[in-house]
Each structure stands twice: as C-alpha cells, then as structure tokens.
Structure 1
Amino acid sequence: MPDLKLGEQAARPLEAIDSVRTRLSTVLALSMLPVLAFGIASAVSQYYDRSEAVEQQLLGKAELVSKELQSLFLGAKQVLEIARTQPGVKNNVEPACSRFLQSTIAGLPHMGNIATISPAGDVQCSALPADQPVNVFGDQWFRSVNARKDFIVGGPILGELSGEVIIVAAEPLSPEGNMEEGVISLSIRTDYIGETLDIGDGDQELELFLINLEGRSLLPGQQRRKLPPKKVLTTYLTGDRGILSTTGDDGKDRLYASIRLDESDVYVVLARPALSASLPVLTELLADVAALLVLFAVTLLIVWLATERMSIRWVKHLRAVAIAQRRGMSTVRARDLEKAPIEYRELGEAFNSMADAIERRQASLVESISERERLLREIHHRVKNNLQIVISLFNLNARNTEDEHERAQLRDMQVRVESLALAHHAAYQSGDMQLMPMDEFLPSLMEHARVMLEDEDCLSLRPIQTDALRLPMDQAVPLAQIILEVISFLRKTADVPTELDISLRRDRPGWAVLSLTTETEPQEDCEPAPVKSKEEEDRRLRLSRSLVSAFARQLGGHLQAATDLSEVVLDLPLDEDDVI
C-alpha cells in the first residue's frame, strides 16, 4: 500500500491569501497593533522628552557661561566700589587718583582701564593717560547709569583711551547714587572674555555669542550671520532665558539658548547646529521604533513558522492525500500521523479508513464490471451467431430463386443483416465494448457490401477513407445503414459506369463528415440492373431518401443530399472521446 510522503505537495498549491497561516498571522498582527502603537507613542514621547533634555542641557551650559560672566562683572563691581571709597579717587586729587587707579587694574589682564567721569561726561581721572579731553556724555552706557543710578554693564564700544573694543561696567561715585558727584567706570576687554569663557567639553560645534537687546554682538570675531535675523532675535530676547530653533542669516538651522545677565541688556547666547542637536535624539527614536518593529516582525515570523510546523504541513499532507484519492489512487494513505496534533491525527485516520472502504468498494465494482463485460461479450457473440443464421437463410433463399429482382432484394437484406452482425462482432472484439473503431469496422463493411455488387457492372466501390474515430454502436449502425442504402439504390438505378467514393473525416472539433460522392463515365456502356417500371423506380427513390433522412435524424446530424442520391453529405456530431 503506497503512502504519500509528508512533504509531498498537491498538484494545486493552497492559495496564500486564504490559508490558515495567513489568517492567523493577520489576527495576531491586528491584536499586536495596539501594543505596537503604544510602544511607538512611548518612543515618540521619549523623543520629545529627550529633545527637551537637549534643550535644557544647552540652556544649562548658557547659564554656566552667564554665571562665569556674572562673576566677572561682580568682580568689576567690587573693584569699582573699592576704588570709589578712596578719597583721592572720590575727590579727583592728582596724581594720587591716577596712581591708585593704575595700581587697581595692575595684574588684571581683562581690565583695560578705570576712570572717573564728571556729571557732564568728561573723563577726569584715568589709569590710562589721555592726550586730549574725552567726553562720554553721548554713550548709551553713560545715559543708562544716569537713568538707573546703580551699577550697569554696557557696550561694546571702542575705548577712546585704550583703542580696544570694550564692555563698560559703571556705577555712581556716590554710594547713595548721587549723580552730581559723577561716575566711575571700568573697561573690560572683550577679546579676553572670548578667550577665557569656558563653554564646556571642548565642543567644536557649540558657539558663544554676547549680544545686547538690539541684537548687536559684544564680542570680537563673532559671525553675526550665524544668528537669526535681527527682527527674529530682538523678538526672542524678551525674557531672562529662552530656547529658539530657527534658521540663521547664513541659511543653516540652529538651536539657540539665551540667558540674560541679571538686569543688564547683555545676553549670553549659545548656538548649536539643529542636526547635531537632534540627530542623537532622532537616532534613539529610530532605534526604539526599529526595535519594536523587529520584535513585531520576529513574533509574526515565529507564528508563521510555528503554524507551518504544527498545522499547515499537516493540512497540505492531508490535502495531497485527498487529491490523490480523488484521482483514483485509492491505495494512497496518510502517514506519520503519530507526530501530528490530535485533531489532524483523527482526521488522517478518518481519511485512511475512508480510503480502505473506497478500496473495498472499488474492488467490488471492478468485479461487477468484469462480470458485466463478460455478459455483454456473451450477448454480442450470441446475437452475432443468430444473425449469421439469418444471413444463411437469406443466402439459401437467394440461391433457390430464379427471379433476379427477388435475388437482388434478398442480397440487400443479407448485406444489411451482415452489417448488424459486423457491428456486434466489432463490439465483441473491442476493449471496452462501448466504442467501435470506424477505421476497422467500415472497411469490413465495404468488403461485405461488395457481395451486393459481385454481378454488377455499373457500380463499383473505391477504398473507403476514414479517420481514426471511435463511435458508439447507436451511431455506427445507422451510419452503416446510410452507406448501404445509398449503395443499394445506386446499384439498382445506375445505367452508366459509376464509382462511389466514401469517406468519414473529422471536420472540426466536435463534428465529423460522412461523404458519399459518385463519378460517372457516360461514354462507356454497362448492363444496368433490371427495373420493372418507372413507378417502381420512383417508389424506390422515395423510400431510399426517406430511409437516409430517418437515419440522419437518428444520428442528430445535418444532411445534404442530391435528389438522385448521387451525392450525400452528413455532418455528424461527435463526443470529445470519439477521436483516438
């Protein structure tokens, strides 16, 4: 008993879209979508948290720089407060004032100059000598200290005495803020500030800017084009601290963090390229999302493979078994069922039990069919033998009669009965006894038909031409009777030498054509069959045409026949199995 191997595939594969594996994977994917969506939402939330952390980190660095600057300015304020308490400085007594101021900034490289200024803006006492009178009444920082009557930081300006870009720290000479006593100012060198400020970790992408409320840069060498447009910047510099992500004047996106120095109009601004700031955070977001998607895909893959292992392969195996049994391979059985899940094991055992029952039933049917074929052969054989007895009686009567017309009639009947005997003999010898091979039956029929014509000079038969067709007996017998009827009629009516050409050909799918055509030679003479009268000839013609038409209708064909039956064409419908 052959078994179908477990891995053998059916002739027609399972449709992937309708498979259990696809549907189960789809259900699992849909059930996992909320978890995946929650994970992605969490990753996005973490992305925003990390982005905010990056912003806060940049803002923290700006705050550290601002505290360093505030320490620098606080030191400047302390220097100013110490200096203004000195009597020589307060009263502008020379040369004591200049000497003290010079000693004050000695050893402090970031301080460019220290001076006292009158209420009118004239420089009165200075650590640096002046070649000519200097007046600062029009400077913004001077107006600011007059307005606030307290410590201010202003600038940057180009120092008239030092010739350097400086930031000015100033406060009233009077501790009570009495501006009638004048102002004391300290110049802080901006190049020193740019060199000494620590913006942390040697970050080459991090840039420091000191700007005022008007967006003016306070440090030398700063590239103002890396800052946002002035309108955007001045709108942004409205609070003590802030974060801004925008495009600089150079067209590059940056992240800006600003810290205001106490209540001054000076801001510390740190800038970092937006890509540099967001790339690590974005990379972490993509990594988180990718991890979720990989986990999702791995889970589906595991389910896909597990379904294949535990379910689909057994479905395919049992399906292949069913297809094989449907094709008649009743000995095929499902195998290795002890390895299958219990549901498939029970189904496979049911298949095997059903196949055993079918095989037993098939054996019984084969035996019944064999018995039926044996009986049919016996019937065909006995019918043929009985017809042979009838043929012998016709032959005996034909020999004992003196009437030529009666003898001809008996021979016609003998040939017709012989055609039936030939049909039963062909069915008896046929393998399935259902279809008769016409390329064997019709030539045999023509040999017996020539018995009709053994004494005839006017009609002769050419060799029949036929394709390899197999017709059932209920088509073969009427077809033979049409041929014999035409031969019988022509034999009795031909008065010149006539040749009958008979062919049976496959014409088109589902159809065959039986063609009977005659060719005559009028210039030659022959001895026609005796005819009793014109009325008998007409009656014979009507009878023959009627018989041919009746047989054609029995065959379900389309008949085209000449009036004198000199040409007969019959379209015969076929079954697809009629052609070998």
Structure 2
Amino acid sequence: MLFWLSVSLIPVLLLASLQAYLLARSSYVDRGEQLLVQSDRTLRSVANKINEAEVLLATYADAIAPDQCDRILETVREFVPFVTTVSSADMNRHILCSSQGNAGFTARISLPAPTAPYDNLSYRSALIYGRLSDQWVFVLSRYARDPDTDEPTGASHFSIGVAPLMEAVKSESQRDVDFALADIDGTILGNEHFAAINPVYLDRTRSRGRAQLFQMTGLDNKTYDVVVRPLEGENLFFIVTAPKPGLFSQSYWGPISFVLIPVSVFLIALIATWIAIQRMILRWMAHLQDLAIAYGEGLYTFKGQDFQAAPKEIRDLAIGLETMAGKIGERDADYRAAVATRDAAIAEVHHRIKNNLQIVTSFISLQSRTVANAEARQMLADIRHRMDALSIVHSTLYRYERIDTVNMPFFFDSLLRHLSEALGAEDMGVKIKWRVDEFDRSADDAIPMALLIVEIITNAIKYAFGEQEGGEVRIDLSYDGERAVLEVVDSGSGVSQEWLQSVRSGQHRGIGIRLMLAFSRQLGGDLQMENVAPPETGLRIKLVVPNRRQRKIVS
C-alpha cells in the first residue's frame, strides 16, 4: 500500500520540478533583465559624465596656456573629479603644458589632420596606460584655435581615469552591483573582482550587437552574473557585475520551495496515513492472519488477540472466524470419531479374517494327515501355505494405523518377516533380503502385490534351490514418481527356456504361475520372467506397475 502511495507522489514531483525549473528560468531571466536595466542606466550616466568633460574641454581648450594646466585641472575637477590630467601640445605633438609637471615630450595621442570648421573637432582615444598618472585612462582631445585667425595652433587634452570614473558611477548604483570597462583584448579596468574577461564573450557580444548575460568566477572564487555591453563607435565594452544569488536568497529558495512544499505536505500526509493504517488496519489484519493460520492447522480452539479494541468491521470478521472455527471443530471431532470407529471396525474385520484363515489352515493340516496320496497331501500343503500368506497379510493390515492407504516399507517389512518365519527360511539356509522405497499405496492394491510377493517367495523356497544348500532371495520395490517396479531375484539354479516359453505363451497350467499372472493383471502391471545372466544363476521376476493411486512420501 505504501509503495503505491509513494508511486502516486511521482506526478506531484514531476509537476513541481517542472514548475521549479520554469520559476528558476524566469528568475534567471529577471535577474539578467535587472542587470541590463542597471547597465543602461549606468551607461547613460557614464555618457553624461564624459559629455560633461567634453563640454568643459570645449570651454577651456583655447585657454590652456603653458602655465595654466594646473589651474584649469583644479577648476575642471570641481565638476568632473575623474579627470586626472590636463595637458596641451603644439601641432607637432610636443607637450607644452601638463598638470603632472612634465613638458617637452611627445604626446602619444595622434590626431587626424584638422579640417575646417575647427569648432567641433573633438576626439576620444582608446584605453592607454598613463605613465604620469600610473593608471588606465582614455583621452579627450580637441584642437586649440588662434583667437585672431581661428586656425588650429595645437591640441588640448583631458585624461579620463577609468577607475575614478567607475567609482563615480558606482556611488550612484546599488551596493552589490559593480562596473568596469574592458578593451578589445578582454582586459578589465576598474573592477576588483576580475582582471580579464574571456574574449569569446566579447566576440559573441559584438556579433549580436546587444548586451549579453554570462556567469563567471571572480578572483575571490565566487560566481558572478556578468553583463557585457558594447560601446557604440568604441573598441570598449561596458561591464556590469553582480554576485550570483546565494543559498539563502529568494532567487534560490523560490524555485526549490515549489518542490519542497508539495513534497513535504505529501510526505506528512503519507506518514500520517501510514500511522493510521498501521494502528487501525494492518495491526489487526496481522492478528487475523495469525488466527487464520492457526485454524488452517486445525487449532480450532485458538483465541489469539482480543479484538474488542479493533474497528467494528474487523471485530465482526474475527467473531465470524471464531464461530466458523468452532463449528468446523465440532464437525471435525465428529468426523474423527466416525473414522476411528470405522478403522476399528475394519481392523476388527481383518483380525477376524486372520483368525478364520488360521482356523481353516488348521483344518487343512488336520485333513492332510489323513490323506495317504502324496500328491494330494502336497496340494493340501500348497493350499495351507497360501492360506497362511493371506493370514499374514490381514494380520499386518489390522496392526497398521491407517486403513485406506498402506505405507509400503512398513507393510512389506512386517509381511516379509512373518513370511520368513512361517516358511522356515532360516532353517533351510535361505536368506530373504528386501529394500523398499518410501511411498504409499491404496490397501486395495497393496493386498494383491503382497500376495504376489508371497507366491513368488514361496515358489522360490520350494523349487529354486533343489539340492542346493541354502541360497538368497532379494526383493526390491522401487518408485520413481511415475511407476512402481517390483523385482524378485533368487540365487537358485534358474529354469529352462521351455518353461519360460510356456509361461510367456500362456500354456503353463501351474496354479502358482496362474495366480501371479492374475495378481499382476489386477495391478495393471506387466509381469516378466528371465534367468539371471551368467556367471550368476537364478530367476529374475519383474513387475512394472504404472502410477495408479500412489503418492510419493518424502522420508
């Protein structure tokens, strides 16, 4: 029952898992959208700040004299604090003035040749490492003009520090969101968590032309959500990073709760159901099973557990079983008494038959003493032996506890012991040996088989050994589950082939052979006779009886 209840949990798990996956996917997408919105907002802020710097550069470009760089830097940084250096150069790129205090060197920034008009000629450089400021910068440049001729006389430069610019932007954003710039080679500037970004991410972002969301492991071995956005017209990328939601965040537990909550509720219901079933049904069903087993074994008076505390249906069932067991017990007692009476009557019948046969045998013995003809006395002696055999069979049967079936080893052991004594086999030096498999046979079949064995052994003792001193008769009764095989072998001199042929052709008129054939037909078997193969001597008689009303008993 619990197994099928557990199986019913599978659809719940599948639906909850699907819902959790969809929610996790939605949460991941929402997280990316939030970072994209934040990147748009921050990028606009960066653009505005750079525009402010360009406006100030346009304002002061013509006024930067060789001794004015420091003063203009102080003035500009009041509005745009991320400007790190103010400098001016002539048309040959020789530095005339620098807020860093050094002049006379050649600027690394090469501007295109000026063309009229000159008032809107403003340029942005790529990222370079400022040797004087010792940091990554990009340079805003603008041609300076002669106030009289309006011709360009040189160039003015504002160096924008990436780190100060990112700090200025970060102060306006969320606490867990960080920003940086990356050049085309993947070098990240202005972010303490990353030194570089995989150029494959940059190529994918540039090919798609829009911001992309990735996950990267930072220098602190933590996982971050990273948004990469290309800057239009620049070989730069704007980077937005935020820590991936942790174990105790809503983004993590939200999807999991879709699985845990229904599963927990189901498990609690399952446990409660199991406890209720165990206390109300299974425990009492186990007691009912014990009761049924006891009744099946014939213990009809067995009471077992008191069912007064059981549910009404189970209590009524237990009462019904007890009532049924009581009635069956009464009928069983009556049946046993009737069987005992019948067995006693049959045993008494066997006993009386045995006694009557003994009386008849005594009469024949008395009568044979008055007969002078030797042949007639021999015939009376044969009749007496057969009457003795019948008496032995009935004597064995009435002492056996079971009347309808006969245990063959027990039955033949008793029979052959009595027969050996009655025939005086030991006095004649003849040993009778036997081996019988363990199986039962109906009494109606056991009697003709016993009479057949008596007839065979009697004939063997009378005729097999002749002048020979002693001998041996072996009886083997085997059973293979499908048929019984009786084999009797004596160690006598054997018989002639003519005698065997007369038996096989049905021409032999001896009463003993005729009785053996009659018993074999009654058993439905096939009686076979043959001499023992040389160098041994003797006669082998074999009877194969098909499996009819037998059952094998495992000893």
Flag whether TM exceeds 0.5 (same fold): yes
Instruction: Give the equivalent residue in structure 1 for 2:396.
Output: 426
Instruction: Give the equivalent residue in structure 1 for 2:492.
Output: 519
Q: Deviations over 1:336-369 (max 9, x none)?
A: 3233333333322222222111101101101111
Matched residue of 1:464: which SS? strand
CA distance change for structure 1 residues 516 and 233 in 2, over 3 Å: closer, same or farther? closer
Separation (CA, whole Å) in 1 of partners of 2:179 and 2:335? 101
Residue 161 of structure 2 is aligned to residue 189 of structure 1: yes
Separation (CA, whole Å) in 2 of partners of 1:490 and 1:558? 23
Separation (CA, whole Å) in 2 of partners of 1:578 and 1:258? 88
Separation (CA, whole Å) in 2 of partners of 1:464 and 1:414? 21
Instruction: Give the equivalent residue in structure 1 for 2:379.
Output: 409
- Aligned-partner residue type, residue 214 of structure 2: S
Separation (CA, whole Å) in 2 of partners of 1:198 and 1:338? 78
- So what's the TM-score if we normalise by structure 2? 0.72
Report if aligned partners of 2:118, 2:143 keep a CA contact under 8 Å in 1. Answer: no
Residue 356 of structure 2 is aligned to residue 386 of structure 1: yes
CA distance change for structure 1 residues 478 and 398 in 2, over 3 Å: closer, same or farther? farther
Following superposition, the deviation at residue 74 of structure 1 comes to: 5.0
Matched residue of 1:289: which SS? helix
Q: Deviations over 1:372-407 (max 9, x none)?
A: 122212222322232233223212211222222212
Instruction: Give the equivalent residue in structure 2 for 1:244.
Output: 213
- So what's the TM-score if we normalise by structure 1? 0.70
Which residues in structure 2 correspond to 1:246-265 (within 5 Å)? 255-258=225-228
Report if aligned partners of 2:189, 2:195 keep a CA contact under 8 Å in 1. Answer: no
CA distance change for structure 1 residues 345 and 516 in 2, over 3 Å: closer, same or farther? same
Separation (CA, whole Å) in 1 of partners of 2:347 and 2:332? 22
Separation (CA, whole Å) in 1 of partners of 2:119 and 2:316? 99
Which residues in structure 2 correspond to 1:51-200 (within 5 Å)? 51-59=28-36, 62=39, 66=43, 69-70=46-47, 72-73=49-50, 75-77=52-54, 79-80=56-57, 82-83=59-60, 89=62, 97-106=65-74, 108=77, 110-114=82-86, 126=97, 130-131=103-104, 138=111, 149=120, 153-157=124-128, 166-170=137-141, 185-190=157-162, 192-193=164-165, 198=170
CA distance change for structure 1 residues 217 and 363 in 2, over 3 Å: closer, same or farther? closer
Q: Deviations over 1:16-73 (max 9, x none)?
A: xxxx4544x26xx43x544433322332232123223432454466457546645643
Report if aligned partners of 1:330, 1:359 keep a CA contact under 8 Å in 2. Answer: yes
Separation (CA, whole Å) in 1 of partners of 2:239 and 2:435? 103
Residue 15 of structure 2 is aligned to residue 38 of structure 1: yes
Deviates more, 1:317-326 or 1:569-578: 569-578
Output the aligned Cα RMSD.
4.9
- Aligned-partner residue type, residue 404 of structure 1: A
Report if aligned partners of 2:430, 2:461 keep a CA contact under 8 Å in 1. Answer: no
Following superposition, the deviation at residue 159 of structure 1 comes to: 7.1
Report if aligned partners of 1:171, 1:184 keep a CA contact under 8 Å in 2. Answer: yes
CA distance change for structure 1 residues 464 and 433 in 2, over 3 Å: closer, same or farther? farther
Following superposition, the deviation at residue 550 of structure 1 comes to: 2.1
Q: Deviations over 1:426-468 (max 9, x none)?
A: 22222223436221222212333349x99xxxxx362422346
Following superposition, the deviation at residue 491 of structure 1 comes to: 3.4
Instruction: Give the equivalent residue in structure 1 for 2:434.
Output: 466
Deviates more, 1:281-290 or 1:553-562: 281-290
Matched residue of 2:305: which SS? coil
Matched residue of 1:496: which SS? coil
- Aligned-partner residue type, residue 17 of structure 2: I
Q: Deviations over 1:167-208 (max 9, x none)?
A: 23356879xxx99678754222346446776488887xx874
- Aligned-partner residue type, residue 446 of structure 1: S
Instruction: Give the equivalent residue in structure 2 for 1:209.
Output: 180
Separation (CA, whole Å) in 1 of partners of 2:200 and 2:118? 30
Following superposition, the deviation at residue 302 of structure 1 comes to: 4.2
Instruction: Give the equivalent residue in structure 1 for 2:512.
Output: 544
Following superposition, the deviation at residue 517 of structure 1 comes to: 1.0
Separation (CA, whole Å) in 2 of partners of 1:464 and 1:218? 112
CA distance change for structure 1 residues 278 and 579 in 2, over 3 Å: closer, same or farther? closer
Q: Deviations over 1:462-514 (max 9, x none)?
A: 24223467763642454335433663586379753464533333445454534
Percent identity between matched residues is 19
Following superposition, the deviation at residue 322 of structure 1 comes to: 2.5
- Aligned-partner residue type, residue 553 of structure 1: R
Deviates more, 1:498-507 or 1:255-264: 255-264
Report if aligned partners of 1:154, 1:169 keep a CA contact under 8 Å in 2. Answer: yes
Separation (CA, whole Å) in 1 of partners of 2:121 and 2:225? 34
Matched residue of 2:355: which SS? helix
- Aligned-partner residue type, residue 268 of structure 1: F
Report if aligned partners of 1:158, 1:165 keep a CA contact under 8 Å in 2. Answer: yes
Separation (CA, whole Å) in 1 of partners of 2:133 and 2:346? 137
Report if aligned partners of 1:416, 1:481 keep a CA contact under 8 Å in 2. Answer: no
Residue 285 of structure 2 is aligned to residue 312 of structure 1: no
Report if aligned partners of 1:21, 1:308 keep a CA contact under 8 Å in 2. Answer: no
Separation (CA, whole Å) in 2 of partners of 1:169 and 1:102? 17
Matched residue of 1:339: which SS? coil
Instruction: Give the equivalent residue in structure 2 for 1:323.
Output: 293
CA distance change for structure 1 residues 488 and 75 in 2, over 3 Å: closer, same or farther? closer
Which residues in structure 2 correspond to 1:500-579 (within 5 Å)? 501-507=472-478, 509-510=480-481, 511=484, 513-519=486-492, 542-562=510-530, 567-571=539-543, 573=545, 575-576=550-551
Matched residue of 2:413: which SS? helix
CA distance change for structure 1 residues 422 and 261 in 2, over 3 Å: closer, same or farther? closer
Matched residue of 1:545: which SS? helix
CA distance change for structure 1 residues 373 and 220 in 2, over 3 Å: closer, same or farther? closer
Separation (CA, whole Å) in 2 of partners of 1:485 and 1:163? 129
Matched residue of 1:44: which SS? helix
Separation (CA, whole Å) in 2 of partners of 1:159 and 1:146? 31
Residue of 335, 353, 356 corresponding to 1:365: 335
- Aligned-partner residue type, residue 104 of structure 2: D
Separation (CA, whole Å) in 1 of partners of 2:58 and 2:302? 110
Q: Give the total of aligned pairs.
A: 510
CA distance change for structure 1 residues 160 and 494 in 2, over 3 Å: closer, same or farther? closer
Separation (CA, whole Å) in 1 of partners of 2:224 and 2:295? 74
Which residues in structure 2 correspond to 1:270-349 (within 5 Å)? 270-271=240-241, 276=244, 281=251, 285=255, 289=259, 292-333=262-303, 335-349=305-319
Instruction: Give the equivalent residue in structure 2 for 1:5.
Output: none
Residue of 479, 485, 492 corresponding to 2:450: 479
Report if aligned partners of 1:113, 1:187 keep a CA contact under 8 Å in 2. Answer: yes
Separation (CA, whole Å) in 2 of partners of 1:428 and 1:266? 118
| Gap regions ≥5 residues in structure 1 | 1-19, 455-459, 522-537
- Aligned-partner residue type, residue 207 of structure 2: T
Separation (CA, whole Å) in 2 of partners of 1:407 and 1:378? 33
CA distance change for structure 1 residues 393 and 60 in 2, over 3 Å: closer, same or farther? same
Residue 422 of structure 2 is aligned to residue 448 of structure 1: yes
Instruction: Give the equivalent residue in structure 2 for 1:14.
Output: none
Matched residue of 2:284: which SS? helix
Deviates more, 1:545-554 or 1:401-410: 545-554
- Aligned-partner residue type, residue 517 of structure 1: D
Separation (CA, whole Å) in 2 of partners of 1:554 and 1:378? 26
Separation (CA, whole Å) in 1 of partners of 2:554 and 2:20? 73
CA distance change for structure 1 residues 75 and 515 in 2, over 3 Å: closer, same or farther? same
Instruction: Give the equivalent residue in structure 1 for 2:501.
Output: none
Separation (CA, whole Å) in 1 of partners of 2:366 and 2:488? 34
Report if aligned partners of 1:507, 1:513 keep a CA contact under 8 Å in 2. Answer: yes
CA distance change for structure 1 residues 148 and 48 in 2, over 3 Å: closer, same or farther? farther
